[in-house]
């Protein structure tokens, strides 16, 4: 699954702690339902793309790599209070031969020999070529000495955050816009869609698209919360609820 949220996702929030909490809820929903990509598209009304992207990427990064990729800065002052994702790439300190872990190349010798930090006290010798500061996925070959090689994860490994253009997202055949103005989708239809596009707390996708001069012809629009009991459904609630419905139909219905 993939989701798209606007740069104005935090437009109604003035308290920084609430902003971080909201991003954390979206990150948790994405992790629970194995979202592969989170797209952030531009809304002319408000732009906090940098903050949203940075916090989402911080939460997705294994704790032992954050010291390299996210130096201490004011913009991340509340990130530590958010609940961890605990996805498979966030490994404990116990090391097993053959397991797959995330690492970062921290040193490359003149002859090309590279060492990676994989969350242990000692650096791991990396079998292969890599550039310094590259994030790598590795398999543990031996513990003494600590040696790793390039690998591909066989399980959900986290999401990637990207900036995107709303018009391009709407043109995708597997895209669907979520809105209370839409129709109730059938389970078979839900199985064929892979990208959910959400509006902001202030405006729906239709209104944002109109400001950008984008026509929404031939775009599926679904109401994921028919007969809702509240006046509005918050963005973080919409993401969690919609992903839960999509997941259920793909596995059970």
pLDDT tens-digit map of 116-156: 999 999 999 999 899 999 999 999 999 999 999 999 999 99
pLDDT on residue 71: 84
The predicted pLDDT at position 72 comes to 81
Spacing of C-alpha 207 from chain mean position: 25
| CA pair distance 153, 36, nearest whole angstrom | 13
Residue-range domains of the chain with CATH: 2-85+158-251 (3.40.1280.10), 100-150 (2.40.50.140)
Looking at residue 99, its pLDDT comes to 96
- Would you state the pLDDT for residue 144? 93
239, 49 in Cβ contact below 8 A? no
Question: How much is the pLDDT for 152?
Answer: 95
Whole-angstrom Cα distance, residue 68 to residue 223?
A: 42
SS3 label, residue 181: strand
> Going edge to edge, which strands form the sheet with 160-164?
160-164, 37-41, 2-6, 195-197, 175-183, 220-222
Q: pLDDT at position 248, please? A: 95
Rounded to 5 degrees, φ, ψ at 252 are -115, -50
Bridge partner residues of 135 (DSSP): 104
Report residues of the chain scoring pLDDT below 70. 253
């Amino acid at each position: 699954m993939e989701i798209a949220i606007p740069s104005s996702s935090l437009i109604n929030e003035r308290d920084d702690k609430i902003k971080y909490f909201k991003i954390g809820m979206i990150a948790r929903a994405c992790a629970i339902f194995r979202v592969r990509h989170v797209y952030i598209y531009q809304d002319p009304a408000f732009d906090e793309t940098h903050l949203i992207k940075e916090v989402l990427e911080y939460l997705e990064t294994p704790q032992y790599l954050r010291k390299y990729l996210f130096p201490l800065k004011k913009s991340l002052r509340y990130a530590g209070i958010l609940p961890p994702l605990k996805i498979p790439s966030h490994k404990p300190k116990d090391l097993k031969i053959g397991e797959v872990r995330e690492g970062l190349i921290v040193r490359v010798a003149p002859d090309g020999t590279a060492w990676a930090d994989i969350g242990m006290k000692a650096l791991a010798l990396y079998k292969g070529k890599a550039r310094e500061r590259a994030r790598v996925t590795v398999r543990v070959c031996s513990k003494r000495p600590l040696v790793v090689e390039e690998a591909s994860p066989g399980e959900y490994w986290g999401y990637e955050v990207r900036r995107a253009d709303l018009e391009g997202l709407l043109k995708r055949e597997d895209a669907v816009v979520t809105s209370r103005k839409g129709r109730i989708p059938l389970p078979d239809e839900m199985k064929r869609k892979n990208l959910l596009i959400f509006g902001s707390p202030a405006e729906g996708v239709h209104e944002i698209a109109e400001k950008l001069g984008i026509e929404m012809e031939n775009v599926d629009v679904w109401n994921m919360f028919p007969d809702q009991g509240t006046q509005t459904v918050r963005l973080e609630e919409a993401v969690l609820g919609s992903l839960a419905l999509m997941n259920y139909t793909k596995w059970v219905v």
